[in-house]
Structure formats: structure tokens, C-alpha cells
Structure 1
Amino acid sequence: MSAAIKRYGLGILAIAVTFIVFVVPLLFMALIAMKDRREANRLEFSWPTNFSLVENFQEVLSARKFMLVTAFINSTILTVVSVAILVILAAMVAWVLQRRRSRWNPTINFLILSGLIIPPAVIPTIWVLQGLGLFKTLTGLIFIEVAFGLSFCVLLFRAFISSIPKELDEAAVIDGCGPIRLFFRVVFPLLKSVIVTVIVVQSVSIFNTFQNPLYFLPGDSNATVQLTLFNFQSQFTTAYNLLFMNILLITIPPLFMYLFFNRQIVAGMTAGAVKG
């Protein structure tokens, strides 16, 4: 009996902590976003007396010549292109590393793990982008996001590919498939679960990134959604109702992605955990 109480008690405690850490801040943010400026400045967890949801939404949307709309377009392009490159490139790298063992594999594995451990160097990276003529360009930031996310994606794909029998590759080669056709016709369709995981995890990460656009893509015309938070706060004053409305708007897309694809994320994370 005590063991059952202990087990259920820990479960209830975990649910309570999760609710406090994740749900309460979301509710607080939504309540502040519905208040007028004077009431929002109190930062109280209370029901608004005067609903200003529509007015706040219109003001946030039209601020600084509809900068939020431009930011959503930039963030969408950045996310879609970066994730597409990551999925294809990481899957191909993982397939080659898993199927073609050579004396270079330990070195390559070390470099991949280094990408997860070593923090990025901002100033040298800016110098490299300036030398390539890619600083302050969306293309340069796409390359940055791909470079930062490649190691994690390769490890996920490699764990899953290790569970795919090599006999499928051999049968496809006997049927006349070349390397490119073998990968895209045989191997790539089998990676559906881990592809969904990579797409969701990396999309949320890239869409929510703050420091990379701040360092490598400055300028109002290049703003991404996270940088629009500066529109409503300054050194001396902050419009909390507009700031929290802005946060609420840029939180909705990643939140819905996690809600709809949480099962696929778990399946892709655990793929290859038993075998390989």
C-alpha cells in the first residue's frame, strides 16, 4: 500500500511541478496580454477588468510598420530552408557513417560530438561570414543554423539507421540501384518517424532562436520573431500588455507543433535505442 501511495504521490508531484513551471506562466502571459497598459503594469495574476485583447493585437501587429509580419516571414523562411537542409544532409551523413565503416570514422565521430560540446564562437564566426559576404544576410544565418544543428540530427538519424537491416541495401544494389537512388528510394522513406522528430525539434529551436539573429542578422528589415520583443521595452519604460501579446503570438506556432506531433517526437527519439 505504501509503495502504491509513494508511486502515485510522485506522479501527482511531477504533474503539479509541470503545471507550475509550464502552464502557470502561459496563463499569466495570456492574462497580461488581455489587459490595458495601466492594469498590465501592475503585473498581477488577476482577471482583467477591461479587456483590450483586440486593441493590443492590432497595436502589436502594426508596430514599426508591421515589423512583426516581416519577422514572421523571415523566421518562416529561415526555419523551412534550414530544416529542409538539415533533414537531407544529416540523413545522408548518418547513412554513410553507419554503412561505410573506415579508419576515418572515429575522427568524424569526434568532430560530430565536438559540435554538441564546444560552444559557438561569435566573433570568429562573424569574421568568416564577412569574408564570405554572407554577414547580415538570411543565407548566412541559414548556414549558421544548419551548422549548429547538424551534430544532433546526425546522431538521431544514425541511431535509427542502425536498426535498418543491411540486407535491404544489398537487395537494392542487386536490383541496380546506385547510391543516390538507393538512399532516396529505399533508405529515406524508412526514416519517417525520425524525420518528423528532427523537423519538429529543429523547427521549434530555429523559430525560437534569439541570439543567432541578434549576432549574425542585425537590422530591422532582417528581424526575426524573437527580436520583435525589443519593440515594446526600453531602458526606462515597458509596455507589458503589448510585450506579453507579442510573446503570446510568437509562442503559438511552436506550441501547436509540439501538441500535434508529441507522439512522433517520442517515437523518433527512442528509435534505434534497443538495436545498434
Structure 2
Amino acid sequence: MFGLIAIAASAVIFLVPFLFVVLQAAKTPGEASSLAFSWPTEWRFLPNLVDVLQANDGIILRAFLNSSVLTVVSVVLTTLLAAMAGYVLERRPSRWGTVINFFVLAGLIVPPAVVPTIWVLQGVGLFKTMLGMILIETTFGLSFNILLFRAFMRTIPRELDEAALIDGAGPIRLFLRVVLPLLRPVVVTVVVVQAVAVFNDFANPLYFFPGDENATVQLTLYQFQGQNLSYYNLLFMDILLITIPPLVMYVFFNRQIVAGLTSGAVKG
């Protein structure tokens, strides 16, 4: 009974706001400005979609390209680095383990320092560049994902490592051919969660990747809302377009996400 109530409450919490966005995206500018939860008197879904795609010389298309490149490259780097770090920390304990664990946890607790980070990026010539933004997203996502991989690594028997070493596998081959395929559930979890986080990131591109030519999807929301005039129908259409990719990922990979997050919680 309580489960059904929880499911119904969750459906209301998530579906009602989504329906509100769809209705506002289909309204005229005058109707949308009232922000009323009502049925549109005139459906303008396709015209609003065209207006959003053509706004500011197609900035939304450039933003989707920038966000896609940023998301794919940073997620690949984060997944590989976090998997290797989690493997080494779990399988190869050393006297530096306590220090490394401190810095991993510090990455979750200590907030990013914006001004010093900008100063460093300017010093190495990576400010306002895609490479610099990729490194920022990769670094900020490492700590949490290292902990996920390390927890999952405890479920993999050490005997597999020993058997591979006896067969002549080196460290790199052992990790890539034996360990990494067994990490598939947590890899899917990290890829989906990190991809959604990077794709929906607003603050970091605003600080470290400014400029219309560098716009990401979240920054395009500024195009339709200003101090004196706001086009709420186009704003909500933009929100709808931005929401679709993460929503599709969660719909298709929700079971893998749960499996990856809960693996390693119970050992044995």
C-alpha cells in the first residue's frame, strides 16, 4: 500500500512539472507570460520549436554540439581515470593510501575555487577553451566516481587477479582484459550519472567557458529571458529540448544505475 502511494506521489512530482513545461512551450508569448497551468488556446508547438532553433543564428545547435563534445570526452576520461584509481586504491594498498583517500574525500567536501581556477587556466592558456572545460569537468567528477568504482571492486574476487598474473598478464592487460569487463554495471552508472551532470552543468561553463561561440545548452536559457522582455514560450521550449536527452538516458538505463549504485554496499 505504502509502495503504491510512494509511486503515485513520485509520478505527480515528476510528471506535473514536465506537463507544465510542455504546455508553456506550446503557447503564444502572451499566454505563456501568465505562467498559468492551462491548456493553450492556440497550439504553437512547431512554430516555437523553429523559433528556438533559429534564435541568435542557431545558437542552440552550436550549444548542443559543444555540450555533446564536452560531455562525451569528459565522461570517457572520468570513467577511465576513476576506474583505474579505484582499482589501484582497492587492490594495491600502500602507505600513501591514507593521504590519497583524504584528497579523494576532500574533492567531495571542499567547494571549487572559481577565481584561482580561472587564474590557473589563464596561466596555462586553457581559459575559454574546450580542452580546459573538459579538464574541469573531468576533475570535478573524479572523487565521487572513484568511490563508486572502489566499492564495486570489492565484489570482484582477488583470485581472478592472481589467475591472470599466473597466466602471464601484465598490469595493464589485467585491468583492461579481466577487471574492466566485470565493471560493466558501475561503468554504466558512472557514464549515465556523469553525462547528465555535465550536460546539465550551468555554473562551470558560465565561469570557465564564456562566450556565445562556446555556449552550452544550459547557457542558452539566457537568450529568451532578459531584464525588460522575456519570451516564456521559447524559454520553456528550450527547457524541453534540454530535458529530453538526460530523460531518455535515465529511462533506458535506470536499472543499471540502481545496480551500479548499490553494488558493493554488501560484501560477500
Using the TM superposition, give the Cα deviation of residue 234 of structure 1 relative to its aligned residue in structure 2, in angstroms: 0.5
Structure 1 distance, partners of 2:128, 2:220, is 17
Of 9, 33, 55, the residue aligned with 2:25 is 33
Residues 1:47 and 2:39 are matched in the alignment: yes
Deviates more, 1:14-23 or 1:132-141: 14-23
Percent identity between the aligned chains?
Answer: 63
Using the TM superposition, give the Cα deviation of residue 17 of structure 1 relative to its aligned residue in structure 2, in angstroms: 3.4
* Code of the aligned partner of 1:153: N
Provide the residue aligned with 1:157 in structure 2. Answer: 149
Deviations 1:38-87 (A, max 9, x none): 11111111111101001000000000000000000000000000000011
Of 170, 179, 188, the residue aligned with 2:180 is 188
TM-score by length of 1: 0.95
Residues 1:104 and 2:96 are matched in the alignment: yes
Structure 2 distance, partners of 1:122, 1:81, is 22
Provide the residue aligned with 2:164 in structure 1. Answer: 172
Residues 1:202 and 2:197 are matched in the alignment: no
* Code of the aligned partner of 2:259: A
Unaligned runs of 5+ in 1: 1-7
Unaligned runs of 5+ in 2: none
Deviations 1:218-244 (A, max 9, x none): 000000000000000110111000000
Deviations 1:152-190 (A, max 9, x none): 110000011111111111111111111111100100010
Provide the residue aligned with 1:220 in structure 2. Answer: 212
SS of the equivalent of 2:56 reads helix
* Code of the aligned partner of 1:151: S
Provide the residue aligned with 1:77 in structure 2. Answer: 69
Structure 1 distance, partners of 2:11, 2:163, is 51
Provide the residue aligned with 1:270 in structure 2. Answer: 262
Structure 1 distance, partners of 2:9, 2:177, is 46
Structure 2 distance, partners of 1:215, 1:19, is 35
Of 82, 86, 103, the residue aligned with 1:90 is 82
Provide the residue aligned with 2:126 in structure 1. Answer: 134
Residues 1:255 and 2:250 are matched in the alignment: no
Structure 2 distance, partners of 1:186, 1:12, is 42
Structure 1 distance, partners of 2:130, 2:6, is 41
Residues 1:144 and 2:136 are matched in the alignment: yes
Using the TM superposition, give the Cα deviation of residue 273 of structure 1 relative to its aligned residue in structure 2, in angstroms: 1.1
Count of aligned pairs between the two proteins: 268
Provide the residue aligned with 2:233 in structure 1. Answer: 241
Using the TM superposition, give the Cα deviation of residue 14 of structure 1 relative to its aligned residue in structure 2, in angstroms: 2.6
SS of the equivalent of 2:168 reads coil
* Code of the aligned partner of 1:185: R
* Code of the aligned partner of 1:198: V
Greater than 4 Å deviation, 4+ residue runs: none
Structure 1 distance, partners of 2:90, 2:12, is 42
* Code of the aligned partner of 2:243: T
Structure 2 distance, partners of 1:175, 1:209, is 45
Structure 2 distance, partners of 1:146, 1:14, is 35
Structure 2 distance, partners of 1:209, 1:156, is 21
RMSD of aligned C-alpha atoms?
Answer: 1.0
